[in-house]
Structure 1
Amino acid sequence: MKALEKVSVFAGNTFAYWVLIVAGLAFFIPEGFVWIGPYIPILLGIIMFGMGLTLSLNDFKEVFSHPKSVLIGVAAQYLIMPLLAYLLAVILRLPPEIAVGVILVGACPGGTSSNVMTFLAKGNTALSVAVTSVSTLLSPILTPAIILLLASKWLPVSAGDMFISVVKIVLVPIILGLIVKALFHKQVEQSVKALPLVSVLGIVAIVAAVVSASKERIAETGLIIFAVVILHNLLGYTLGFFAGKLFKMDFADQKAISIEVGMQNSGLGAALATAHFSPLSAVPSAIFSVWHNVSGSLLASFWGRKVNEEQKEIAKAG
């Protein structure tokens, strides 16, 4: 089990590299990965089941002890990123399928990787976990509603069908994970450290499926999508940080909100795009999966290093 834990930690630390490698292979050898496409919802369901296994009542204590902070985080999550996506799609006159894909990324809840990045940034990890958990539980209602409101300008949207999809691939697996944890607590505690490996394998497979199915369109529009995804993500970090500042949150909370807003559950975006729109609409989510882990790591390292330097200065002065 310890060997598996080490592999899991290594996979989590090198996640962005694996996504890049497999995305490259899927682009140049699409026939080797295109078969994964039909399994995208199942793969995401497994990842969400893992999230359910890691959740506990302690994760929701922050909701009750600091409800204002959690509310600000969730509101920022579901306002800033969708509106940014819509504005970028309109201003840059994106093709319909790409516009919908970008809005899909914006309308998704925060990803669990944001919790890791917040921890590394020396931010308020408890707040980050609470915002991720609440935004994820609200996603069956808010994600389809936002897509209907903002994306129907480009393509037809069935909010009802999307609601059912999100319930199936997000809510049901999380609830099952919680039930399994309650029934088999000791066994789950022993195996939970292997979950990062499962998540990495799942996201890498989803990215490979999306890239292999859209090779030709990526070759045509790849630069535009890359530019939009990077801009969307960086603006999310910036506006998330200033949202925390606006409401006079402390610096640790500001960092948590910034990272929480900027990092999305792009796996969900890819699954919904594939199921309800087209493989091309899933490409922004696939690229976001790679980029936000790179940018999040850089931002977390910068903030974490800054705190360490400040602590050293205080120690010297003392």
Structure 2
Amino acid sequence: MVDETTQALLGIMVAVIMLGMGASLTPRDFYLALKRPYGLLIGLFCQFGFMPFLGFLFVSILVVPDPIVIGILLMACMPGGTTSNIFTYFSKGNLSLSLLMTVTSTVTGIVLIPVILLLYASTLDIEIPAREFIPTLVVLIVPVLLGMGLRKLNANIGAVMEFTGSILGVLFIILIAATWVPANWQFLLDTQAAIYIAAIGLGIIGISLGYAFARLIRLHPRNARTVALETGIQNGPLAIAIIVFTFPPDQQQAIMAVPALYSLFIVIVSTGVTLFFRRANTAAEQKLPDSLL
């Protein structure tokens, strides 16, 4: 359960993160991307195809209670976040593609997240109030649009907001570690291994699937790394915000278990993957093709 003070702080941080995400792009970026939509379509397929299905496999194989099932599916259906952009940069990936994939999946997620959740919930015969997520998603899109407006109005202000949003994305995870984890320490000790498997496996398997698929369709190595990270690194802060603002307090703790653990472990997983990508990187891979893909 999250107290009112932490809830307000989480809301502010998520809003600033989304503002920074929007400030990283301009309408022209979308125009150029739509001229070559291949990369964005691949990203949407991975994020809203591979990941939700992976979440479905976890809840079908692992024996976990319904609140945990909801948390796993919700986390698996999230779009990319600013964390993926940070690790794409350090992995020497295609940062422009990463940013476009993140924002595009966030915007399209307003429709796709409730639809996919309702589809899998009906298959599993569990009740998820997916339609109630829409107002929260719509509200959180407003900062993205404001960020784009700020970038268009003043590039310097946009750059500052972009940097601030990226930093807060990391601080958000630190806040979860410093507040939610100690407050729920006994709950975490009593948490079954299956929940940890799902929380850690979503990131590891998601990144692996994204990379394998990207290499299968012969993407440039830098773009393959980008697709991999965008696929496996989901927007944990957004998932936690949806839970806090949608579900009653007595249900939040269990539903939030996987998103909170995922947010903590994905940093460790992504750091390891980044180190691997950097070692595998060659001088030839640094030269990007003329198009995004």
Q: Return the alpha-carbon distance in structure 1 between the equivalents of residues 161 and 242 of structure 2.
A: 29
**Partner residue in 2 for 1:285:** 259
Where does residue 112 of structure 2 map in the other structure?
142
d(CA) in 2 for partners of 1:127, 1:113: 14
Whether 1:158 and 2:129 are equivalent positions in the alignment is: yes
**Per-residue deviation, residues 3-35 of structure 1 (Å, max 9, x unmatched):** xxxxxxxxxxxxxxxxxxxxxxxxxxx99x774
Task: Give secondary structure in 1 for the equivalent of 2:92.
Answer: coil
Q: Deviations over 1:215-266 (max 9, x none)?
A: 4432211643222112221111111112213323222222211111010001
Q: 1:185 Cα deviation (Å)?
A: 3.7
Q: Does 1:89 align with 2:59?
A: yes
| Count of residue correspondences | 280
Map residues 146-295 of structure 1 onto 2, 5 A cutoff. Answer: 146-151=116-121, 153=124, 155-169=126-140, 171-189=141-159, 192-206=162-176, 208-211=178-181, 214-221=184-191, 223-277=193-247, 278-295=252-269
Larger % of helix: which? 1
- 2:44 corresponds to 1:44: no
Structure 1: runs of 5+ lacking an equivalent: 1-29, 312-318
Contact 1:241-1:254 at 8 Å conserved across structures: yes
Q: What is the letter of the counterpart of residue 49 of structure 2?
A: L
**Residue 10 of structure 1: aligned partner:** none
Asked if structure 2 preserves the Cα contact closer than 8 Å seen for 1:99 and 1:154, the reply is: no
1 CA distance for matches of 2:210 and 2:56?
17
**TM-score (normalised: structure 1):** 0.78
- The answer on whether the counterparts of 1:98 and 1:280 sit within 8 Å (CA) in structure 2 is yes
Between stretches 265-274 and 214-223, larger displacement belongs to 214-223
TM-score (norm 2): 0.84
Check conservation: 1:43, 1:206, Cα contact below 8 A. no
Taking a change above 3 Å as real, the CA distance of residues 296 and 190 of structure 1, as seen in their structure-2 partners, is: closer
Evaluate the alpha carbon distance shift between residue 198 and residue 303 of structure 1 in structure 2; reply closer, same or farther with a 3 A threshold. closer
Where does structure 2 lack aligned partners over 5 or more consecutive residues? Answer: 286-293
> What is the distance in 2 between the residues matched to 1:310 and 1:50?
32
Compare CA radii of gyration and give the structure with the larger one.
Answer: 1
Q: Pick the aligned partner of 1:107 from 73, 77, 80.
A: 77
